[in-house]
Structure formats: C-alpha cells, structure tokens
C-alpha cells in the first residue's frame, strides 16, 4: 500500500495527487451528468406512458356517457335512478379494467365550483351528486373544451402519488356539459424510479472507485519520470555535473523523453562552457595589464583635445547670441506684417459683405421695377373698366327714364280704362279689374324706376370719384417708377465702386501674403541658424564634457584593469567548485 499512498503527500507539492484529483473530478462530472440525464429521460418516458394511459381512459370512457340523461342528474335523489346505477357500474368496470384509482364525472356550478355527478370510485371513497370541489386549473381547462393530463407525478398528503387526466363531455352542439376525470396510482412508478436512482448512484460509486484506482496507476508512471527529471535538475543547481540521466529515460519518445534529453544537453553545455571560461580567465589577466598602459597614454591626449574644444565652444556661444538677437527683430517685423495682413483680410471681408448686400439690393430694385410696371398695367385696366362702368351707368339712367315714361303712360291708360269701365256699367266690371291691376303695375314700375335712378346716380358719382383716384394713382406710379430707376442707377454706381475697392483689397491681400511668406522664410532661416549655433555650442560642450569624462574613464579603466586581473583569479577559483 505504501507504493500507492506514499507518506507525506501534499497537494501543493506532489504532482501525483494533482493528477489523481484531476481525473477524479473529470470522471465524477461526466458520470454524474450522464446519470442525471438517464434518470430524467427514464422519468419522462415512464411518466409520459402513464399520462397517455390516463388520457385514453377518460377519452374512451366519455364515449359511453348518455349526454341527454347525464344533464338531468342534479341532486342526491337522482342516485336512485336506473341511469345513474348503470353509469356507475360502467365506470366501476372501466376502473377495474384499467387499474385506475378513481374515475368520476364533474359539472361546473353557478358559483364557480365543480360538482360530482357519477362517481365510479370504491364505496369507501365515493362522492355523491352535489359534493363539490374548488375550482382548479385542470378543471377550468377541461371545462373550456381542452383535455388536460398531468405531465408529472403529483404528491398530495393523504392521497399519495398519482397522475390525473380530464376530458370534456360535450353535447351534440359541441357545448361542454361535464368532465370525465380519472386518477391513476403512481406509487409503484415512484418506487421504481427511486430504485433506479439508487442503482445509478451505486454504479457511479463503483465507476468512481475504478477510475480512482486507474488514476493511481497512471499517475505513478508519470510521477516517476518527473521525479527523476527534478532530481537531475536539482543536481545541476548544486554545480554537480558528474551524473547523467539513465538511457531508459533518454530513449523515451514522449514529452518526458524530450525533457530528459534537454536536461542532458544542459549538462553537456555547462561542461563545455566552464572549460572555455577556464581557458579565457588567463587571457583576461594578460589583457588587463596591456589595457592599463594604453589608458594612461589616452588620458594625456584627451586633455589636449579638451582644451581646443573649450575655445570652439566660446566662439559658438557668441555666434548664437547674435543670431538670437536677429531672430527677435525679425519676429517683431513679422508681427507688424501679420497685423497688416489681418486688417486687409477684414477689409476684404467687409467689401464682400457690402457687395453682396448691393447685389441683393439690385435684385430687389429689379423686382420692385417689375412690380411697378405690373401695377401700372393693372391701373390702366382698372381705369378702362371704371370708364366703361360710367358709360354703362349712363345707359342705365336713359333706360330708367324710358321706363318712367312708359309707367306714366300706362297709369294714364289705366285711368282711361277705369273711366270707360265705369261708363259701361255692369258689363265693364271685368275690364275695370284689369285696369286696376295695370294701374298697380304702372305704380310699381314707377317706384322701381325711381330706385334705379337713385342707384345709377350713386354709381355715376362713385365712378367719377374712381376715375379721379385712378388718375392720381397713375401719376404716383409714374413718379415711383422714375425714382426706382434712379435708385437702381445709384446702386449700380455703388456696386462698380465696391468692385474696384474689392480688386484693390485683393491685390493688397496678395502683397501681404507674399510679405508674410517672406517673413516666415527669413524667420525659419534665423531659427535654423540659432538652432545650429545652439547645437554647435552644445556639441562643443558635450565634446568637452565627453573628453573630461573619457579622461576620468581612462583613469577608471586603469584602476579597473587591476580589479579585472583580480576577478580573473576569483573566476578561476569558482570554476574549480564545479564537479566535472
């Protein structure tokens, strides 16, 4: 047992335990998932079969119900009828044949509850006509005409485990008049599923044990190779290059074989590298002596170069100051040019705005001229129309005078007729009536003629006034047209002057841009000269500093060469610590 369970195992330190745990978790996850799926599918299949049996039972039983007699069963006294006894016997036989626990019929009452009608349950559990149940989803769905069947096992305290199905009982018109229900005992199904669950758990435990045992065997094989490789790597860390990995491990073709060959190559490379370092340490000591002599000679030459560079740096600094002063003056000139250019741009923009406004004014003047011409033409038409209206009123006045004359003559004629009718006596009565009507008509014509004369008189006065007004409007319109033409000519003169100003402004702007570009070019050249002067001064300073640093470095090299000789000796001593 110590081979499989070594002492001192730690999950953080032992890879064998990690491998076993990984396999165990993976296998447990897969087997538990498969067991759960198998149990759910089995449960679904068994429950579906029981549901189908319940549905077929209520479906076939509903066919034996005499609907016309069924609806007459309303009170417990109806249980003594032959029909009730016959239906109960039929339901009892169906219950015994199918193995149902209860089979019964229901009907919905006016208060929303469901009343038992014919019950085929055993005598000890019999429900009589009038016994009611509270409304439930299964009852309501069946009463709406849709069959209902449980799709899972129902657990009810005092009743046990069962599956129910309900089917609507309909009359010849398709109206639901009752419900056929059946309860099937599912206790045996539940017990079988519990037994099946225990078997699945037992198989899971056995399978887990087998996989765990196999994991121990497999992990032992893997951990041995890893242990050998880790021990060899530990020896390399301790500078022990004498041992080598076994040829058995080196012949493996898997990842452990690759790891073993890599470690072996590391050992060989270490041996070769240490040999080279040992041979090079002597050369380093010899070279350090030669470096000391050369650094002393270079230090003297660096001092002379540093003095010359210092003089160059002073001249470069003077040049940089002069260049900076010239750049400052050029910048001031550039600011003046920028201001002039900005003012020219503002003037150009203002001229453009004024020009656009003048163009808009010219368009408006053109539109006003056209509208004035159109107004003149309309006034002339109105003037002609008023003149014709005045002439027509004169003609109406003449016609009205003629009507007045005719009315007067008609009145005289009616008067004569009345006189003649009076002379004729009884024979002239009819003619007298006609004369009277003619007289009334003449009077009416006279009144109408008088009204027409008054209207025509007003019309003639208004027409005369309209003619005068139109004459005044014509004169005003003529004056307006003349002034519009004068304003248009003035706008055109202003527009030409603004165009001349705009051209001059554009030329001024172009000249300003050329001066601006020239200023930028001069400024860029001065900035470039300043930058070059700074670089020269900085470079001279850097070279001077570099030469000083080089002098110090050469002195340090001379000192370091002595240390390098000492280090070469120490390196040789350290190489001797490797066990080759």
State how far the Cα of 361 lies from the Cα of 351, in Å rounded to an integer.
15
State how far the Cα of 139 lies from the Cα of 128, in Å rounded to an integer.
18
- Looking up tokens 């067991």 gives 35
pLDDT of residue 526: 67
Neighbours of 240 (CB within 10 A): 14
Query: How many degrees, rounded to 5, is the angle at CA 303 between CA 297 and CA 309?
Result: 135
Q: What is the pLDDT of residues 46-104, one digit of tens each?
A: 788 888 888 999 999 888 888 999 989 989 999 999 999 999 999 999 989 988 888 99
**CA 375 to centroid of chain Cα atoms:** 61
Is residue 164 classed as helix, strand or coil in its secondary structure?
strand
In terms of pLDDT, which residue wins out, 163 or 560? 163
Q: Is the CB of residue 62 less than 8 Å from the CB of residue 169?
A: yes
pLDDT of residue 290: 64
Residue 165, token pair as written in the block: 């199905």
Q: What is the pTM of this model?
A: 0.37
pLDDT of residue 32: 79
Evaluated on CA atoms 283, 284, 287, 293, the torsion sign reads negative
Q: What is the pLDDT of residues 389-402, one digit of tens each?
A: 777 777 777 777 77
DSSP notation for 50-105:
HHHHHHHHHHHHHTT--HHHHTT--SGGGGGSHHHHHHHHHHHHHHHHHT-SEEEE
CATH number, domain containing residue 54 = 3.30.450.20
Q: Domain limits at 475?
A: 362-503
Mean confidence (pLDDT) of the chain: 76
121 in any annotated domain: yes
Q: What is the pLDDT of residues 430-445, one digit of tens each?
A: 767 777 777 777 777 7
393 in any annotated domain: yes
Comparing C-alpha atoms, which of 365, 319, 346, 370 is closest to residue 489? 365
Is residue 10 classed as helix, strand or coil in its secondary structure?
coil
371 in any annotated domain: yes
Residue 194, token pair as written in the block: 């519990």
Q: What is the pLDDT of residues 175-208, one digit of tens each?
A: 999 999 998 877 777 777 777 778 878 887 887 7
State how far the Cα of 265 lies from the Cα of 483, in Å rounded to an integer.
112
Q: Is the CB of residue 393 less than 8 Å from the CB of residue 459?
A: yes
447 in any annotated domain: yes
Last residue of a domain, one of 191, 219, 247: 219
pLDDT of residue 8: 44
233 in any annotated domain: no
Mean pLDDT lowest among 406-410, 508-512, 550-554: 550-554
Last residue of a domain, one of 196, 219, 242: 219
pLDDT of residue 5: 42
Our count of domains for the chain comes to 2
Q: What is the pLDDT of residues 300-332, one digit of tens each?
A: 666 666 666 666 666 666 666 766 776 677 677
In terms of pLDDT, which residue wins out, 145 or 421? 145
CA dihedral 539, 542, 546, 552 (to 10 degrees): 160
pLDDT of residue 291: 64
319 in any annotated domain: no
Phi-psi region of 576 (alpha: psi -120 to 50; beta: other; left: phi over 0): alpha
Q: What is the SS3 assignment for 436-504?
A: HHHHHHHHHHHHHHHHHHHHHHHHHHHHHHHHHHHHHHHHHHHHHHHHHHHHHHHHHHHHHHHHHHHHH
Neighbours of 454 (CB within 10 A): 11
373 in any annotated domain: yes
pLDDT of residue 2: 38
Q: Is the CB of residue 50 less than 8 Å from the CB of residue 189?
A: yes
pLDDT of residue 38: 75
Position 385 pLDDT exceeds 90: no
CATH number, domain containing residue 399 = 1.10.287.950
Position 107 pLDDT exceeds 90: yes
- Beta pairing class for 132-133 and 148-149: unpaired
Q: What average pLDDT does the segment 462-481 reach?
A: 76
Q: What average pLDDT does the segment 28-52 reach?
A: 79
Residue 132 backbone phi and psi in degrees, to 5: -120, 160
In terms of pLDDT, which residue wins out, 352 or 110? 110
In terms of pLDDT, which residue wins out, 210 or 106? 106
State how far the Cα of 466 lies from the Cα of 481, in Å rounded to an integer.
22
Position 12 pLDDT exceeds 60: no
Reported confidence tier of residue 6, pLDDT bands at 50, 70, 90: very low
Last residue of a domain, one of 178, 202, 219: 219
Is residue 168 classed as helix, strand or coil in its secondary structure?
strand
343 in any annotated domain: no
Q: What is the pLDDT of residues 113-125, one digit of tens each?
A: 999 999 998 888 8
pLDDT of residue 311: 67
Angle, helices 187-237 vs 15-62, to 10°: value is 160
Position 533 pLDDT exceeds 70: no
State how far the Cα of 520 lies from the Cα of 472, in Å rounded to an integer.
70
Q: What is the pLDDT of residues 146-176, one digit of tens each?
A: 999 988 877 766 667 878 899 999 988 989 9
State how far the Cα of 394 lies from the Cα of 456, in Å rounded to an integer.
8
Residue 258, token pair as written in the block: 């690759």
In terms of pLDDT, which residue wins out, 347 or 410? 410
Reported confidence tier of residue 3, pLDDT bands at 50, 70, 90: very low
State how far the Cα of 54 lies from the Cα of 102, in Å rounded to an integer.
11
pLDDT of residue 89: 92
């Amino acid at each position: 047992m110590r081979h499989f369970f070594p002492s001192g195992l730690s999950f953080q330190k032992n890879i064998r335990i990690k491998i076993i745990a990984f396999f165990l978790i993976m296998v447990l996850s897969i087997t538990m998932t498969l067991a759960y799926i198998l149990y759910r599918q089995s449960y679904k299949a068994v429950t579906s079969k029981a549901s189908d049996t319940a549905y077929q039972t209520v479906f076939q039983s509903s066919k034996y119900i005499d609907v016309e007699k069924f609806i007459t069963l309303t009170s417990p006294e109806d249980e003594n009828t032959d029909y009730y006894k016959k239906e109960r016997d039929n339901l009892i036989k169906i219950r015994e044949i199918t193995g149902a626990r209860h089979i019964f019929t229901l009907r919905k009452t006016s208060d929303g509850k469901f009343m038992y009608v014919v019950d085929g349950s055993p005598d000890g559990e019999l429900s009589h006509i009038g016994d009611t149940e509270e409304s439930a989803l299964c009852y309501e769905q069946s009463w709406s005409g849709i069959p209902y069947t449980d799709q899972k096992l129902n657990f009810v305290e005092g009743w046990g485990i069962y599956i129910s199905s309900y089917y609507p009982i309909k009359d010849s018109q398709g109206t639901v008049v009752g419900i056929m229900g059946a309860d099937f005992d599912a206790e045996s199904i539940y017990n079988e599923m519990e037994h099946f669950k225990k078997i699945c758990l037992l198989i899971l435990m056995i399978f887990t044990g087998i996989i765990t045992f196999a994991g121990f065997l497999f992990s032992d094989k893997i951990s041995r190779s890893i242990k050998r490789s880790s021990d060899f790597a530990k020896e390399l860390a301790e500078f022990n290059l004498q041992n080598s990995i076994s040829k058995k491990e080196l012949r493996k073709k898997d990842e452990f074989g690759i790891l073993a060959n890599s470690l072996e190559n590391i050992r060989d490379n270490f041996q070769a590298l240490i040999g080279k370092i040992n041979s090079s340490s002597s050369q380093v000591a010899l070279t350090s002596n030669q470096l000391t002599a050369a650094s002393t000679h270079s230090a003297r030459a660096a001092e002379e170069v540093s003095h010359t560079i210092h003089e160059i740096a002073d001249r470069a600094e003077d040049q940089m100051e002069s260049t900076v002063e010239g750049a400052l003056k050029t910048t001031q000139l550039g600011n003046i040019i920028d201001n002039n250019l900005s003012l020219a741009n503002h003037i150009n923009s203002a001229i453009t705005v004024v020009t656009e406004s003048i163009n808009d004014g010219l368009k408006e003047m053109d539109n006003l001229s056209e509208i004035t011409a159109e107004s003149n033409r309309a006034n002339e038409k109105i003037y002609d129309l008023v003149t014709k209206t005045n002439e027509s009123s004169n003609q109406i006045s003449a016609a009205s005078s003629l009507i007045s004359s005719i009315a007067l003559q008609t009145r005289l004629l009616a008067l004569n007729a009345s006189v003649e009718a009076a002379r004729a006596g009884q024979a002239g009565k009819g003619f007298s009536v006609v004369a009277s009507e003619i007289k009334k008509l003449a009077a009416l014509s006279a009144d109408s003629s008088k009204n027409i004369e008054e209207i025509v008189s007003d019309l003639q006065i208004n027409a005369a006034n309209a003619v005068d007004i139109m004459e005044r409007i014509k004169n005003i319109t003529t004056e307006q047209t003349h002034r519009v033409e004068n304003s248009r000519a003035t706008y055109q003169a202003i527009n030409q002057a603004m165009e001349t100003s705009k051209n001059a402004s554009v030329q001024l702007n172009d000249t300003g841009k050329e001066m601006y570009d020239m200023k930028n070019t001069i400024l860029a050249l001065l900035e470039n000269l300043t930058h070059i002067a700074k670089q020269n001064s900085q470079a001279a300073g850097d070279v001077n500093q570099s030469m000083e640093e080089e002098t110090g470095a050469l002195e340090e090299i001379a000192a370091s060469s002595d240390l390098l000789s000492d280090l070469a000796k120490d390196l040789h001593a350290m190489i001797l610590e490797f066990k080759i």
